[in-house]
Amino acid sequence: MNINKYTQKLQEILMNSQSIALRYNNQSIDIPHFIMAIIEDNDNVGSSIFSKAGINLEQLKNGVEAILASIPKVYGSN
């Protein structure tokens, strides 16, 4: 995947998804990491899309956090 082909905003979201996976000690990045990165985005572009779709952001965030917490953890060093 050539990340340089994506917009700056999408690159930021992808990088933040990776940070979230690391924060939760997850081995890989999956949809919940991506959604959480959108929710946590400071520009609130994604959050406004969720809101316009009638999605309660607090409930969404709580649900995604629960999913992230349930993903198997990986600990240790290389």
Q: Distance from first CA to last CA of the chain, Å, rounded?
A: 24
Q: Could you tell me the pTM of the whole model?
A: 0.85
Looking at residue 20, its pLDDT comes to: 98
The Cα–Cα gap between 66 and 49 comes to 22
At 63, which amino acid appears? G
Tell me the pLDDT tens digit for each residue of 32-64: 999 999 999 978 788 888 889 999 999 999 999
Tell me the pLDDT tens digit for each residue of 4-40: 888 999 999 999 999 999 999 999 999 999 999 999 9
- Which residues have a Cβ under 8 Å from the Cβ of 19 and sit 6 or more positions away? 37
Q: What are 41's two structure tokens? A: 């985005």
The Cα–Cα gap between 52 and 42 comes to 17
Q: What are 49's two structure tokens? A: 């899309």
Residue ranges covered by each domain of the chain: 8-70
